[in-house]
Amino acid sequence: MIRRLSKEETIPMSLLLLADPSERLVLQYLKRGQCYVMEEEGVIIGVYVLLATRPDTVEIVNVAVEPDYQGKGLGKQLVIHAIDTARQQGWHTIEIGTGNSGVVQLALYQKCGFRITSIDRDFFLRHYEEPIMENGIQVVDMIRLSMDL
Ligand SMILES: CC(C)(COP(=O)(O)OP(=O)(O)OC[C@H]1O[C@@H](n2cnc3c(N)ncnc32)[C@H](O)[C@@H]1OP(=O)(O)O)[C@@H](O)C(=O)NCCC(=O)NCCS
Q: What residue segments make up the domains of the chain, in order of their start?
A: 2-148
107 lines ligand 1 (CB under 6 A): yes
Q: What is the model's pLDDT at position 78?
A: 98
**73 CA to middle of ligand 1, Å?**
7
Q: Output the average pLDDT for the chain.
A: 97
**The CATH number of the domain covering residues in 2-148:** 3.40.630.30
Nearest to 64 by CA among 121, 104, 101: 104
Mean pLDDT of 73-84: 98
Which residue's CA is minimally distant from atom 1 of ligand 1?
Answer: 105
pLDDT score, position 115: 98
Element housing 18 (H / E)? helix 13-19
Question: Rounded distance, CA 77 to CA 84, Å?
Answer: 10
